[in-house]
Copies of this chain bind each other. A is one copy, B any other.
Amino acid sequence: MKKNELSIIQSIRRRAAKAAPQAARIRLGIGDDAAVLEALPRGEELLVTTDLLIEGSHFRRERHPARALGHKALARGLSDIAAMGGQPLYALLSVCLPPWADEKWRKQFFAGLFHLARSAGVALVGGDLSAGGRFAADIVVLGSAARGQVLQRSRAAPGELIYVSGSLGGSALGLARLRRGQCSRADPAVRRHLYPIPRLALGRFLAEKLHVQAAMDLSDGLSLDLFRMAAESRVGAEIWAEALPVFPGANRGQALHGGEDYELLFTLGSGRQVPRSFEGVPLTAIGVVTRSRRLSLIGPGGRRTRLPVGGFQHKLA
């Protein structure tokens, strides 16, 4: 069993070494008590984020293929770095493997993770391996951003327009289809749910070119994440229901409250020019930041209602 643990680590290590894009800055990768990394150049700041992926809470194994879970575990962390306008550099993965996660399953899981790591230019430099009754993974992503160019959810200011990237509700639609057993991986909504794309280039564009101040990623649904941004910024918001870019086939409820789209939510002064799209991803104004701390939904004909805060949330005792 110890041999098994060591052989799993060896195999991850070989893959990690092959895939490492910034080998020169890694003094020590997987295999010691801690990873050792070259300090960032002056003028850069270190970003760190950590995200759980828990069986039964975030996924079900009969529904979610191993490859998609490996992708999503890392995508959650990368999306956080995107939301800060940063460049991801390194990742560490803690994983608790249950008995059913056999070699084939693990291979697929790591294939999904390394495929995304390579495309994002991220090196896996460490982690922890444990065994237990249920699958749990925690991804740590370290990244960098130029000093003073970090996007913060607390910086939304009254009068600024509220934008989202891409379209919303696709992941919720894909999950609903998976639940009904409609498992075609070619279905764009199912793909959006299983293989979300962290908006890394867009995050940097917002920070460096558009000089956006306030942003966050949409992991738990627009209404809940907007509530968080408004709370942190001590502002409110009006959302224009008709303006929402709804994923094809999704309904407005899914666009407002569905989690895991991993699009970016950001604000910018109404006098500033925002392109209609960036690298093929639409950027859409969906509302305005208000001094009043209410969240409102402006429906057809200008009818104003309270924006219900739904979204993906965990039951806590």
Contact = CB atoms under 8 A, between A and B. Distances in A.
Interface of A: 1-2, 4-6, 8, 27-28, 31-52, 54-58, 79-81, 83-84, 86, 90, 92-103, 125-134, 136, 138, 140-143, 145, 150, 152-154, 216-217, 224, 227-228, 231-232, 309, 311, 313-317
A143 B84 contact: no
Contact of A134 (B92, B99, B103, B133): B133
Contacts of A42: 39, 42
Contact of A2 (B47, B154, B313): B313
A90 B50 CA distance: 13
B96 A57 contact: yes
27 contacts: A1-B315, A5-B313, A6-B228, A31-B153, A32-B84, A32-B216, A33-B49, A33-B80, A33-B81, A33-B217, A34-B47, A36-B150, A37-B46, A38-B45, A48-B92, A50-B50, A50-B92, A50-B127, A52-B136, A56-B133, A57-B131, A58-B130, A99-B317, A103-B317, A131-B315, A131-B316, A138-B138
A16 to B, nearest CB: 14
A152 B29 CA distance: 11
A51 B316 contact: no
Scoring A2, A57, A127 by chain B CB atoms within 10 A of each residue's CB, the highest score goes to A2
Contact of A52 (B27, B96, B315): B96
Q: How many copies of this chain sit in the oligomeric assembly?
A: 2
Given A40-B39, A101-B317, A314-B5, A48 B125 contact: yes
B46 A36 contact: yes
B84 A216 contact: no
A79 B136 CA distance: 23
Name the 7 nearest CB pairs between A and B, nearest first: A131-B314, A138-B138, A34-B49, A33-B80, A33-B83, A39-B40, A57-B132
A6 B311 CA distance: 14
B128 A51 contact: yes
Given A33-B83, A47-B34, A316-B131, A138 B39 contact: no
Contacts of A86: 34
A110 to B, nearest CB: 14
B143 A92 contact: no
Contacts of A92: 48-50, 140
A107 to B, nearest CB: 13
Contacts of A142: 48
A192 B28 CA distance: 31
Contacts of A154: 31-32
